[in-house]
Structure 1
Amino acid sequence: MEDPSQSEGTRHWRSRALWLRIPLLALVTVLGLVIAPPVAVLPWALVLALAASVSFLVQPRHRLALLGRFAEVTVVLLASWSTPEPGWVLPYLMAPMAAAALTANLGPQRIQKWPIESILLSVFAAAVLGAQVPYIIPALRDEYLVAAASALAFAFVAALVASWLGHVHLSRSEDAERPYEEAAALLTQLRVVARQLPGSTLDPGGIASEIVDSVAEVEAVDRVAVLAASSGRRMVVLAEHSPERADWETSPQMNTMMADAWAGQKPQTGQLPLSRSSSGAVSSMVYPLVAEGRTVALVALESDEPAAVTPVLIPQIDDATRGAGLRLETALLFEEVRSMATTEERQRLAREIHDGIAQELAMLGYGIDNAMSDLPEGASEASSQLEELRSEVTRLVTELRFSLFELRSNVDRKGGLTSAIADYARAVGSSAGLRVHLSLDEGGARLPAGTEAELLRIAQEAVTNARKHARAQNLWVTCEVDPPYARIEVTDDGQGLGGDAPEGRYGLAIMSERAERIRGSLEIRPREPHGTTVAVVLNASARPGTGNADAGAEIP
């Protein structure tokens, strides 16, 4: 049975080796019938066909196939020796020799520099020729040996060419398949890791918080932050520790210590402030987190004492961040892969909905319109039912349009989170007849891309609940982003929590899961005199006086 692991290219070369025998066998048979009596040619042609048929019936690397090729060489030499015209069958030597070279790359050692089996066949043929010499008529001996040696040499050259072609073909095939094999291996490992490790282990924010907490224990350090690279020219603050809110510099181009630490992968110390909110003289350090020779993130340290942060602290920072670079890089890569996969899946779902059920519902609406136009006069009851059905189809089409818009909405790396939320709220409010009131506050620093995506989805779900279930007339959307702190609040003047449909409760549960994924807190509370407020707060401790100040019912 053929090895199922063989590629299509391998089967191609096996087919070449297999069908090479058919034209050569036909050629030597016709040549023999022309120059010799049929009774001397046909029996040997039949025996040669039987020897060659072994390769038709078994796998090319099987032992029987190997013996069959040696049998073919033996039959060719015996036929040429025992017939009056010896040259008729000698061209067939190319078939077993070239076939051996072509099939040499089908085994476990697929790429062979030399056709070993073809060399062995040549040695075997030479030995058989040597054994035939004493039995050849002296008058024909020289002519026969020259013809046999020439045919054998030509067959060996053909084997070398066949081996080279097979080597080139399989090398190109493996080169083309190697990136896919490596990608498959990496994705398989990623799947195993994703299944075995808990979610917090691959959370960049959680790992960054651990780093910050460890470094903050170093004596004389007042403020610490972990900053990672983003898709833009600015960095993102993953976590921080500070008695008061620190406005960290997120542009390495504006801070020589950060730029030197990132490029040189060496800690940098000095009196240059790392946060814009620093007042007075400070001492600071930028410590790079490196994994496998790559800079992953920067740990920014500040002290209000001018001489407190010095190179003497570097060994302590080394101990506090040991192994953190690799763990953080793994989490960031996992977050990026998950974000890319999620975005692609949302786009795919949007395309399928648009091309599938949305088109079918539209056709259904047209069909109802045609049915209403064909109703006879006086069929008021049927007309009323069709109008109700048409209204329901229109409502479903509208909901699908909102869903498509939500699926296709993403945070633009240039516009920012608040811009994406504002655009979505305006579009939904305009379509649903809601008056939207926006309060936006976002600085130049950005949150990690995965965090921004989750906050956008939470805001979208809150706006959708207000539109579908609250029966509201006004919508207040507040976005405050000051990394690592963020607060998104959506308030409506609808019927309140008591009127929420089961679908609305399900949406609140989804929002809670998203908030937990980014280590945020989700709260809901009633709005006076009526309505609901949904708020998600990220890193509330980084913003004194806010965050947990609002009392509300936490969603489980």
Structure 2
Amino acid sequence: MTDRPVAQAPHIDAIEIVVELLSQVESGDQPGAFYDRLCEAICRVTSMDRAVLFRYDAPIRRVTAAGVHGLDITQFDDFPFNPDTTPIARQALVEDRVIEVPQEASSLLPERYKGLVDDTMLVCTPMSASGRWVGVVLSDRPRSAGPLGEAELHLLWTLGKVAALAAIARVATAQVERSRQLEQRIDLAREIHDGVVQRLFGVSLVLSSDQALDVETQRRCAEEVQVALADLRTAVQRPLGRPSRESPASVRQELGALRAAAAVEPNGPAFVVTDPSAVMDRLPPATAAVARSVLLEAVRNARKHARPQTLEVTLTEHDDAIVLEVANDGVAPEDGARPGAIVGMGLRLAAFEALQVGGVVEFGRREGGRWVVRLVVPRDA
């Protein structure tokens, strides 16, 4: 690498940012707080005033605004971020360089966001590491300040690498946690098999014999059944599924993002949302996390396994329960005969998540050729 005339202070600040961010990788903070700090750090050591970080969210298979500084992140709730709507992001990632957007390049942004950069110079910093595209950071400063120097361009590029490294480290930490949870579920299945199943199997062999059972044998069978039930009761007190994925996005924000993504897609389904009592804004955190998971999986399954023209999302309150329904009209008649026609593994795992907060997920064909996924969960989950 050639020597670059970068000032000593930015070098020191950048190193401090690396240490600070990597030390926070395994923190229990919400992802949004982590990426907000990352955007703030980028603006702190450069001349940028505002920044928004977009990253690919693998579990929901969509690019989202993960963090901001100097902006309101809700502005990007339904931002249809993809190579077609924001080609500057693809260019920065493909060329692996920081790109300054000239005045005439405002057409590279969706129409509704052009007003945000009328009098500013927009800069797109790639977040990539080892050929892996993680996302981009869009930042700006007053256009009157002139173009960026080579030193600051290189500093931004370096910070983009740091951001990518920190994001990948967080993902790796989450994967380790998921692996640990999978091991716990495997241990649970093994414990039930080696204990409960074997005891009940022995009892079934005795009961299926043609010989008459004496009192002592009946007593032994009853004891074995009682022990098996006690073992099973102890085992199922553990969490049966993965915890709901943390996210700063609310159910309403997630719906907005889904609706916006469908609007720019050719022949995308129309979303009809019914929330007469604004239940979405009053969901407890645990309930909101489960509702988001069920919503995303229901919509994903409907779009993958059916051809819906309309997706109806209804959220209502009944006594002490909250009910979320996602219905689609794209199920073929023959699919109705197969209960699992449009149910994937993700939705089944979401059903386990609901169990952990006392809820239940049901799904099936309804009158009028509609397929409905329904979540019922206590209000005080």
Q: TM-score range by the shorter chain?
A: 0.3 to 0.5
* TM-score with structure 1 setting the length: 0.33
* TM-score with structure 2 setting the length: 0.45
Richer in strand (by share): 2
Richer in helix (by share): 1
The structure with the larger Rg is 1
